[in-house]
Amino acid sequence: MFEAILLTVITAATPLLIAALGELVVERSGVLNLGVEGMMIMGAVVGFAAANLTGSGTLGALAAVLAGVCMASLFGFLVLYLATNQVATGLSLTILGLGLSGMIGEAFIGVPGLKLPRLDIPLLSDIPFIGPVFFQQDALVYVAFALVALVSYVLFRTRMGLILRAVGDNHGSAHALGYSVLRVRFLAVLFGGGCAGLAGGYMSLAYTPQWVENMTAGRGWIALALVVFSSWLPLRVVGGAYLFGAVTVLTFHAQAQGIGIPSQFLSSLPYLATILVLVVISANRRLTLVNTPACLGKPFVPDR
């Protein structure tokens, strides 16, 4: 029983982890992207459609990444090169993604999905309890953990990460030193969009291998909250993603056990937990300011 719950927690946490890591990189560069939900839902529908048409889950995942990157390129062009309001543009992108995905996915409603296969690592996967939980997951679970290591290393151990953080903390000084603020931020936005698209693709290819309109169900907003929850640190994102994944899974199990609590209330628990965490963090000013990029949400227009 515990093994089954842990397996479903991992599955539920993976899309949150991938999307939050991408958004963390975007915000570290000083850009606030509220379009994560729209990018995720586009990744979900395009990934499902590509996998269904080609018969390949790998191509479906790559198509999901591409869909997220395309949405992110539109967002990046608008907020960076046309200096539009980041909040309004992100919200508009989410609305666009929800509507466009519904139109694209209309032909795929009720179509059987193509589930990503689970990897079977010889010897390790045969270990009782540990094997099924850690060594019999689909490839994107391991990709998520690889992304944690990659983002942590690049942000804090490389010159590229130093430049990215410098742009997010003081874009004027970074520009004065000769760095292209807009290019750095645009690449960060593309990376975040690719991660959001992959997270959406995971929803339709592994979590629930089917297409259902609005199937991301607000997970993009939870991913945004996770970035704040983690104080913009990649390793803390892992804990936050699994915490929220566990809340989601436990609500499902509570409903299955027939606990006398309205199902609507149980379904709202992950989002109530998100609000509670944000309220607690906001109440602590010191915690709010820790690692917060100083130029987050502030547009940059080069003075030549």
For residue 206, what is the DSSP state? I
Helices 57-76 and 36-54, packing angle to 10 deg = 150
Of 273, 282, 213, the closest CA to residue 244 belongs to 273
> Which residues, other chains included, contact 224 with Cβ-Cβ below 8 Å and sequence gap of 6+?
20, 23, 34, 36
- Report yes or no on 295 lying in a domain: no
Domain assignment present for residue 154? The answer is: yes
Q: What is the pLDDT of residue 184?
A: 97
Task: Specify the higher pLDDT residue, 261 or 1.
Answer: 261
Is residue 17 in a domain?
yes
Mean of the per-residue pLDDT values of the chain: 89
When divided into structural domains, the chain yields a total of 1
Is the pLDDT at 287 greater than 70? The verdict is: no
Classify residue 304: in a domain, yes or no.
no
**294 located within any domain:** no
Residue 263 pLDDT grade (very low, low, confident, very high; cuts 50, 70, 90):
low
Residue 116 lies in a domain: yes
Q: What is the CATH number of the domain that holds 131?
A: 1.10.3470
Residue labelled with tokens 């690719």: 194
Of residues 261 and 62, more confidence is placed in 62
User: Whole-angstrom Cα distance, residue 62 to residue 74?
Assistant: 19
Which domain range does residue 255 map to? 2-289
Q: Centre a 10 Å sphere on the Cβ of residue 114 and count the other Cβ atoms it contains.
A: 22
Residue 92 lies in a domain: yes
pLDDT digits (tens, 9 = 90+) for 19-30: 999 999 999 999
The most confident of 81-95, 262-276, 281-295, by mean pLDDT = 81-95
**More confident position, 273 or 175:** 175
The pTM (predicted TM-score) of the whole model is: 0.92
Q: Which helix (H) or strand (E) holds 256?
A: helix 234-256
Q: pLDDT tens digits for 30-86?
A: 999 999 999 999 999 999 999 999 999 999 999 999 999 999 999 999 999 999 999
146 has a pLDDT exceeding 60: yes
> CA-to-CA distance for 277 and 15, rounded, in angstroms?
19
Domain assignment of residue 49, yes or no: yes
